[in-house]
Amino acid sequence: QVQVVESGGGLVQPGGSLRLSCAASGRIFGLYAMGWYRQAPGNQRELVATITSGGMTNYADAVKGRFTISRDNGKNTVFLQMNSLKPEDTAVYYCNILVLNTGYWGQGTQVTVSS
């Protein structure tokens, strides 16, 4: 079994910051990529950022320069530092991990950007 658990969401004002965390555990030998996706009401789930075990990163254009993804390989944890948040960043954020070409999702954490 594989467990993926997110934390760190919440309510923040525009221009504020939040840090999301995601911890993977269980049968994760061969863990390769970890990443964040988000889904706003009425929209499809979309890529936010990914990072490989070697540290290669990929970001959606909408978050480049504002969000930073990082990971702690020793703890099988991935982080998403979100700065300069905008109302359009409001969504449920999901962590995804790739283990031997199989993807696993967390339960999601709500991020709301509003004054």
pLDDT tens column, 13-35:
999 999 999 999 988 877 889 99
How much is the pLDDT for 57?
97
Residue 33 is classified by DSSP as: E
Q: Kindly report, residue by residue over 69-80, the tens digit of the pLDDT.
A: 999 988 999 999
Cα(58)–Cα(114) distance, integer angstroms: 27
Is residue 51's pLDDT more than 80? yes
Is residue 55's pLDDT more than 80? yes
User: Which residue(s) pair with 96 in the sheet?
Assistant: 35, 105
Strand pairing class (2-7; 18-26) = antiparallel
Cα(9)–Cα(18) distance, integer angstroms: 7
How much is the pLDDT for 31?
80
Give the residue from 17, 22, 60 showing the smallest Cα distance to 40: 60
Strand pairing class (109-113; 10-12) = parallel
How much is the pLDDT for 83?
98
pLDDT tier, 100 (very low <50, low <70, confident <90, very high otherwise)? confident
